[in-house]
Amino acid sequence: MRSLRKTVVFGILASAVLVLALMHTWPTRAYTTIEVWQRPGLLAERTLEDRLPEPDPQLSTIPFRVRDSVAGLLAHNGCVCESKGVNLPFFQILSSRVLARPLHTAFKPAELEEVKRRRDKEFKNLQKRLQTSADVLIIAEANNPLQYPTQGVEVRPLKTIIIPGLALQDLPKDRHSINLTATLGTLNVAAEVDGVQIRGDGEMCMSLSSAALTKLNRQLQFVTYTNTLFHPNTADTVHLETEGHQANFIIKIRHNVTPKLYNTGTEEEYNISALVTIATKTFLRYDKLQNLIDSVRKYYPTVTIVIADDSQNPRSISGPYIEHYIMPFGKGWFAGRNLAVSQVTTKYVLWVDDDFIFTSKTKVEKLVDVLERTTLDLVGGVVREVTGYTTSYRQTISTEPGEEDGDCLHLRRGFYHVLQGFPNCVVTDGVVNFFLARTDKVQQVGFDPRLNRVGHLEFFIDGLGSLHVGSCDDVVVSHASKIKFPWASQSESDKAYAKFRYPPASSDVSQSKFGLLYFKNRFQCLTRGD
């Protein structure tokens, strides 16, 4: 009787846990809503006032009401590193949690100040390299008489262009004049119009005047700008003024982007061998690597496989369409990724782990189709475990501006929207370790070789703002079993691999990751959540 009672109680508890789990995993419309952090009205009003220009005496006395729903969307002048949710048993099943990690804890207190000093110095130097006049906010005030380009004017370094769109609207006066001033080049005219007086042509400051407005506007159609101070990527601010009115506009100075094009043949259908190279990094697990190669050859016999190997006693891996590169022992995970991708000469690179197995559902052509028909740079697939569980590891990544201590990095599971034309694909920021990408974009972002043991999402963090990422759930690769049976002995290579691959959470490896986020990326805090 007592045994029956225990069985009933256990069944009730198990059923309750199952119901709670189903409630948590049941499909929702989470991606059709936008979360707006509400703030007290006074704080929102003060934040809004901070973003207004210097108050106009005629306008400062006019009262206003703040729309909290809109003002709350404005970025605040400081991010807060705080966890959200309650750490109680089963609480995660009913409600999502956000875990926050202050990244400065990667350093000892005695060295933190010196690290912060060096980080600030590096950050300021980076800003100097990246920021130009094109980044400066310029307000086009009510200068009705002046017509000028507000965006899109570009010149090659040390070359000359005609400035488009210059004109002066009708003003009731006997003589019309307009002045232009540049700082990184000179101004001139490509042709002269009778009845227009020109002063300072060929110099940084030039004036044009005429009694006839039509003639002056005709002359303005021939005004040229010549860049005289060489810099391959900067911008000049040109000042434009007439009596009582002035404006500024930007001329970008930069070389045309040199294209990198790939000759993939003339076939009407996708020639996967000409379009795609498979890249992987291996360490000690030659049996799993061979299984991967065999499975690839079953479906793609002529696709090149590039292997980076940092095993201590590397074995020979040879065969048709295989490139095997030996690295120093234990050089690391991201260093191997860099080496493998650096040797890819095709338009796309397919990254796989060395313990993946291709199946009939690993249709690389589908991923190629997505990249060929969209502006995405990288698209991930799905990894299926032997248990049947699948993962796409879709992550959204965002940053929140902070102050002197750095910005905040926020990682959340999910995606933004479905990719038009591909109902099985979505747009996101980070994907699983099985993805097809444009080779030049991956090489541009690169893999930080300091992440020598554990790393993946850090690549997408570095690529935030330059990588356009998607994920499709109809392209699946299998994952070799990680199930360990008690009666099965573990090989020496497996033991050695596990020692490097799974360091303790408190080890220097984890601290090193946080340290890189803190210094290299200038983050003060990392939050993760659902």
pLDDT one-digit tens code per residue, 364-380: 999 999 999 999 999 99
Task: Please report the DSSP string for 33-94 in residue order.
Answer: --------HHHHHHHHHHTS-SPPTTTTTS-----HHHHTTSPPS------BS---TTHHHH
Could you give the CA distance from residue 312 to residue 310 in angstroms, rounded to a whole number? 6
Residue at token pair 């040879």 = 318
pLDDT number for residue 281:
95
Assess contact for 365 and 272: CB atoms under 8 A: yes
Assess contact for 292 and 280: CB atoms under 8 A: yes
Residue at token pair 């407005």 = 213
pLDDT number for residue 316:
93
The larger pLDDT score, comparing residue 259 to residue 483, is at 259
What three-state secondary structure class fits 360?
coil
Statement: residue 496 has pLDDT above 70:
no
Give the DSSP letter of residue 255: P
Res. 31 pLDDT band, cuts 50 70 90: very low
- Cα–Cα distances in angstroms (integers) from residue 105 to residues 117, 462, 467, 509, 520, in the given order: 16, 21, 29, 14, 15
- Cα–Cα distances in angstroms (integers) from residue 9 to residues 4, 83, 451, in the given order: 9, 35, 49
Question: Do 137-254 and 277-529 fold alike per CATH?
Answer: no
Give the DSSP letter of residue 375: S
Give the DSSP letter of residue 431: -
Could you give the CA distance from residue 16 to residue 509 in angstroms, rounded to a whole number? 39
pLDDT number for residue 73:
64
pLDDT number for residue 144:
75
- Measured in whole angstroms, the distance separating CA 274 from the mean position of its chain's CA atoms is 28
Closest CA to 493 of 323, 286, 342, 339: 286
Statement: residue 48 has pLDDT above 70:
no
What values do phi and psi take at 509, rounded to 5? -65, -50
The larger pLDDT score, comparing residue 123 to residue 407, is at 407
Assess contact for 402 and 391: CB atoms under 8 A: no
pTM of the predicted model, to two decimals? 0.81
**Do β-strands 98-102 and 523-529 pair in parallel, antiparallel, or remain unpaired?**
antiparallel
- Cα–Cα distances in angstroms (integers) from residue 421 to residues 144, 214, 370, 382, 415, in the given order: 45, 51, 9, 19, 17
The larger pLDDT score, comparing residue 513 to residue 183, is at 183
Assess contact for 238 and 180: CB atoms under 8 A: yes
Assess contact for 410 and 400: CB atoms under 8 A: yes
Could you give the CA distance from residue 226 to residue 184 in angstroms, rounded to a whole number? 9
- The mean per-residue pLDDT over the stretch 460-472 comes to 96
- The mean per-residue pLDDT over the stretch 304-311 comes to 95
Res. 485 pLDDT band, cuts 50 70 90: very low
Assess contact for 23 and 94: CB atoms under 8 A: yes
- Measured in whole angstroms, the distance separating CA 141 from the mean position of its chain's CA atoms is 34
Domain boundaries, the chain: 2-21+36-74, 137-254, 277-529
The larger pLDDT score, comparing residue 139 to residue 199, is at 199
Closest CA to 362 of 419, 426, 430, 434: 434
Which residues have a Cβ under 8 Å from the Cβ of 50 and sit 6 or more positions away?
77
Could you give the CA distance from residue 286 to residue 493 in angstroms, rounded to a whole number? 9
- Residues paired with residue 7 on neighbouring β-strands, in sequence order: none
Statement: residue 457 has pLDDT above 80:
yes
Structure tokens at 459: 């690549």
SS (H, E, C) 201-217: CCECEEEEEECCHHHHH
pLDDT one-digit tens code per residue, 391-413: 999 999 999 998 889 999 999 99
In 143-229, the DSSP E strands lie at 146-147, 153-155, 160-162, 167-168, 176-181, 185-189, 197-199, 205-210, 223-227
Which residues have a Cβ under 8 Å from the Cβ of 79 and sit 6 or more positions away?
400, 401, 402, 407, 408, 524, 525
Could you give the CA distance from residue 329 to residue 311 in angstroms, rounded to a whole number? 5
pLDDT number for residue 228:
94
Assess contact for 415 and 427: CB atoms under 8 A: yes
Closest CA to 384 of 366, 420, 358: 358
Q: Which of 52-56, 174-178, 249-253, 508-512 has the lowest mean pLDDT?
A: 52-56
Statement: residue 7 has pLDDT above 90:
no
Structure tokens at 483: 């199930």
Assess contact for 503 and 510: CB atoms under 8 A: yes
- The mean per-residue pLDDT over the stretch 495-502 comes to 64
Which residues have a Cβ under 8 Å from the Cβ of 262 and sit 6 or more positions away?
275, 346, 347
Q: CATH number of the domain at 137-254, out of 3.40.190, 1.10.3470, 2.60.40, 3.30.300?
A: 2.60.40
What three-state secondary structure class fits 177?
strand
Could you give the CA distance from residue 26 to residue 24 in angstroms, rounded to a whole number? 6
Statement: residue 463 has pLDDT above 70:
yes
Q: Which of 29-43, 253-267, 423-437 has the lowest mean pLDDT?
A: 29-43
Res. 32 pLDDT band, cuts 50 70 90: very low
- The mean per-residue pLDDT over the stretch 470-484 comes to 86
Helices 508-519 and 109-130 cross at an angle (nearest 10°) of: 40
CA angle 220, 250, 463 (to 5 degrees): 150
Could you give the CA distance from residue 342 to residue 359 in angstroms, rounded to a whole number? 27
- The mean per-residue pLDDT over the stretch 99-118 comes to 91
- Which CATH code is given to the segment(s) 277-529? 3.90.550.10
Statement: residue 360 has pLDDT above 80:
yes
Res. 109 pLDDT band, cuts 50 70 90: very high
Share the mean pLDDT of the chain: 83
CB atoms within 10 A of CB 478: 19
Structure tokens at 434: 């099985």
The larger pLDDT score, comparing residue 503 to residue 248, is at 248
Statement: residue 314 has pLDDT above 50:
yes
Statement: residue 96 has pLDDT above 70:
no
pLDDT number for residue 91:
52
The larger pLDDT score, comparing residue 461 to residue 83, is at 461
Res. 5 pLDDT band, cuts 50 70 90: low
Environment class of residue 376 by beta-carbon count within 10 Å: exposed (0-12), middle (13-18) or buried (19+)? Answer: buried
